[in-house]
Amino acid sequence: MRPDRDTPLLKRAWFSTGITDFLACSDEHILGSVVQASTFTIETTQRNAWLETFPLLRDALQGLEGQLYFEFEIPRMGRRIDVLAVIEGIIFIFEFKAGATEFQAADWDQAYDYGLDLKNFHEGSHLCPVVPILVATEAPDRLVTLIEHARISGLYETVCTNASQLSCCIHQLRQLIPAVPFDITAWENSRYCPTPTIIEAARALYAGHGVAEISRSDAGAINLQQTSDTLFQIIREAQENKFKALCFVTGVPGAGKTLVGLNIATQQQDDEAPRIFLSGNGPLVAILREALARDMIEREARQGKKIKKGEARTKVKAFIQNVHHFRDNYLMDVQAPAEHVALFDEAQRAWDKEQAANFMKRKRKVSDFNQSEPEFLISVMDRHKDSWAVVVCLVGGGQEINTGEAGIAAWVEAALEHFQDWHLYISPTLKESEYGSGKVLQAIEARKETIHYEFKPELHLGVSMRSFRSEKVSGFVKKVLDCEVLQAKNLLQEINRSYPIRLTRDLNKAKQWLRKQASGNERYGIVVSSAAERLKPYAIDVKTPMDPVNWFLEGKDDVRSSYYLEDVATEFHVQGLELDWACVAWDGDFRYSGKQWQHFAFRGNKWQNINKPERRLYQKNAYRVLLTRARQGMVIYVPAGDPTDPTRRPDFYDQTYAYLRGLGLEEP
């Protein structure tokens, strides 16, 4: 069910052979070998495309030696490279478009993305030249141009060619790129350690990959698999011994808490009790559902099958749901749910008793509701009488960003007061101040004779998986927000080596920087505080409705997508999700005053002080979310203000800019 961590790349290809053997083999032999290894039924169109590819390659590879890999799988992207060739240490990636009469931008990006994936995530390819080649068989002739990536040494931009020029193209590239010492066996067996976005991860997991295939496997990140394995073991023990368990998984921002939850929800056999992944994060649920439905339709189409989008969406809903819909359903339905395992993402955001009661009275006409959301949700799973159930709370520290969010303490309190027979499995990190659970954990230890609990270090994810270029971004952001200047400066010096952070007062410069940094289909966009109401003169309007599904899923040619840099996303849209590159637009709602942060809300026609400690915390956490969304780098935009506009006075922004500049942030 869960594959070995270090699956050799040779096994990721449907068929592999040396170039010499390939040149001597018939098309029928190669086709038979590829079809035999296929994981689905081969349609006539796919068969014909392969048969067109083989003679083109055979002609183009004359006189060369190396290794070929057909249908080479990239689990993180849920795709396969048509043909990958390793020739004298140079990695050629071939994307064939049979019958195509022009070079499409989307195909160019697709080939380039394969190169980025190998360069970034496959250890054996780090030092090798990587050249993506787009072969549109009927397209016009094009000169071979070799352009190296501005930041990634040895990665070249996609080379475009057609069928008649393919041989000349390969031999010309071979002359332009120096050969490197190379051990093909070591390359095949080197580790593939990807860091997928949550959308990529969800697609891969839903398609049947395990978390080990789509996550890093180095010592620093190994606990992603260990956390999953620990939860699988708890689930098995609960089922075998008929008890109920409440688990708390903690992690730094971007550590993979949601990924662990999705892994548990998807990696189950048909004969196992169903599991459900629940989140109160509406945008996250909507985006993941749509992404998985689209992916299912695409995968079925590649196998010659058709499935309606409505049917695909229904299947996805079976294991991923909005926690509020789940809650409302079991207000009416008093039966035990079909699922025995429920995974609550961002569990700290569940409502406290006051917020839940208020909502139930206003929106659901339930006047006597007297439970917090954690208590009610545990009670739903507790309906499995004389049976078993497991609730997994995925917890982020310092992530509460809205009124009425109970924090993780409410889950512990509910268990202590109403579900004493449940077994508690707790990450020791829950004791730290940012989780706000210290007192209730003391209460657990005070009652250790009467309750079953166990602290498990494996339930903490301590390494950020979001940024594969720097694992210290969340620590840097924490120091910035806590005004710990010296520590922030030191961390920035380490981060900037691999994770660029820039600062500007010119929004156009920020946009240009994003476009220049991003390669292939790397996603970029503008993120902003939901309280940033005076960025409107810069065409950043947080009040304008935007659809996060379109923002995160649509392509570069869609004006609704993040790529267009027109619609902006707030902390509520992006929490739990990520971009490759981000512009963080900073308004006067959160201002540096020389020693500390000041908190403001725009009411009517002026800024007003925020005095309540919890609202100040929510605002600080909002900026924490915004500043930790980018995987590869970010630019911070602090406007200059306008002395003629009392709502945008320069002094609302100048000290914030000076503070950030003083940390060592440079202009783009």
For 189, the token pair is 């067996």
Nearest one of 498, 495, 458, 459 to 480, comparing CA atoms: 495
Question: DSSP labels for 335-371?
Answer: SPPS-SEEEEETGGGSB-HHHHHHHHHHHS--TT---
Same-domain check for residues 79 and 165: yes
State the distance between the two ends of the chain, measured CA to CA, in whole angstroms: 46
Among the residue ranges 220-224, 446-450, 574-578, 619-623, the one predicted with the least confidence is: 220-224
Q: Is 591 helix (H, G, I), strand (E, B) or coil?
A: strand
For 534, the token pair is 């005076």
* CA 569 to chain centroid: 16
Same-domain check for residues 379 and 493: no
pLDDT band at 620, cuts 50/70/90? very high
Residue 403 has pLDDT above 70, yes or no: no
pLDDT score of 646: 96
The answer to whether 387 and 209 have CB atoms below 8 angstroms apart is no
User: How far is CA 53 from each of CA 94, 99, 255, rounded to the nearest angstrom?
Assistant: 10, 11, 42
Answer yes or no: is 52 within a domain.
yes
The answer to whether 539 and 564 have CB atoms below 8 angstroms apart is no
User: 447: how many CB neighbours lie within 10 A of its CB?
Assistant: 12
Per residue in 464-501, pLDDT (tens digit) is 666 666 668 988 999 999 999 999 999 999 998 889 99
Domains in the chain, number: 3
Answer yes or no: is 160 within a domain.
yes
The last residue of one of the domains, among 461, 491, 516, is 461
* CA 490 to chain centroid: 27
Same-domain check for residues 118 and 259: no
pLDDT score of 219: 46
Answer yes or no: is 518 within a domain.
yes
The mean of the pLDDT values for the chain is 88
What lies within 8 Å, CB to CB, of 486 at 6+ separation is none
Give CA–CA dist 118/461, Å, rounded: 25
Residue 447 has pLDDT above 80, yes or no: no
Q: What percent of the chain has pLDDT over 90?
A: 58
pLDDT band at 3, cuts 50/70/90? very low
Nearest one of 514, 518, 517 to 565, comparing CA atoms: 514
Give CA–CA dist 194/627, Å, rounded: 22
Residue 395 has pLDDT above 60, yes or no: yes
Same-domain check for residues 546 and 457: no
CATH of the domain at 455: 3.40.50
Q: Is the dihedral of CA 646, 648, 654, 659 positive or negative?
A: positive
Same-domain check for residues 494 and 361: no
Question: 419 lies in which domain range?
Answer: 223-281+319-461
Give CA–CA dist 52/66, Å, rounded: 21
- Per-residue b or e along 617-647, where b marks 16 or more CB atoms closer than 10 Å to that residue's CB: ebbbbbbbbbbbbbbbbbbbbbbebeeeeeb
Residue 608: strand pairing partners: 601
Answer yes or no: is 378 within a domain.
yes
Nearest one of 425, 416, 417, 406 to 444, comparing CA atoms: 416
pLDDT score of 553: 96
Same-domain check for residues 180 and 229: no
Per residue in 519-554, pLDDT (tens digit) is 999 999 999 999 999 999 999 999 998 999 999 999
Residue 269 has pLDDT above 70, yes or no: no
Nearest one of 73, 551, 53 to 299, comparing CA atoms: 73
pLDDT score of 610: 96
What lies within 8 Å, CB to CB, of 44 at 6+ separation is none
The answer to whether 526 and 565 have CB atoms below 8 angstroms apart is yes
What lies within 8 Å, CB to CB, of 82 at 6+ separation is 53, 70, 71, 94, 95, 96
Question: DSSP labels for 60-91?
Answer: HTTT---EEEEEEEETTTTEEEEEEEEETTEE
Query: Are β-strands 453-455 and 423-426 bridged in parallel, bridged antiparallel, or unpaired?
Result: parallel
pLDDT score of 255: 75
Answer yes or no: is 638 within a domain.
yes
What lies within 8 Å, CB to CB, of 455 at 6+ separation is 426, 427, 428
Answer yes or no: is 4 within a domain.
no
The answer to whether 287 and 577 have CB atoms below 8 angstroms apart is yes
Per residue in 335-391, pLDDT (tens digit) is 999 999 999 998 888 888 888 889 888 888 888 889 999 999 999 999 999 899 999
Same-domain check for residues 497 and 450: no
Q: How many CA atoms lie within 13 A of 243 on its CB side?
A: 18
Residue 584 has pLDDT above 90, yes or no: yes
The answer to whether 50 and 32 have CB atoms below 8 angstroms apart is no
What lies within 8 Å, CB to CB, of 606 at 6+ separation is 646, 647
pLDDT score of 377: 94
Q: Residue 602 belongs to what H/E stretch?
A: strand 597-603
Answer yes or no: is 234 within a domain.
yes
User: 171: how many CB neighbours lie within 10 A of its CB?
Assistant: 16
Give me the sheet containing 501-504, strands edge to edge: 501-504, 630-637, 579-585, 524-528
The last residue of one of the domains, among 168, 189, 210, is 189
- Count how many residues are written for the chain: 668
Phi and psi at 633, nearest 5°, equal: 165, 165
pLDDT band at 463, cuts 50/70/90? confident
Instruction: Over range 261-275, report the average pLDDT.
Output: 78
Q: What percent of the chain has pLDDT over 70?
A: 91
Same-domain check for residues 148 and 54: yes
Q: Tell me which DSSP letter residue 231 carries.
A: H
Looking at 257-399, which runs of residues are DSSP E strands? Answer: 275-279, 320-322, 341-345, 389-396
Give CA–CA dist 657/386, Å, rounded: 60
Same-domain check for residues 558 and 655: yes
Per residue in 54-76, pLDDT (tens digit) is 999 999 999 999 999 999 988 77
- Tracing tokens 């195509």 back to the chain, one arrives at 100
The answer to whether 405 and 614 have CB atoms below 8 angstroms apart is no
Same-domain check for residues 267 and 333: yes
The last residue of one of the domains, among 461, 490, 511, is 461
Same-domain check for residues 31 and 144: yes
Is the whole model's pTM more than 0.85, yes or no? no
Same-domain check for residues 452 and 600: no
Answer yes or no: is 212 within a domain.
no
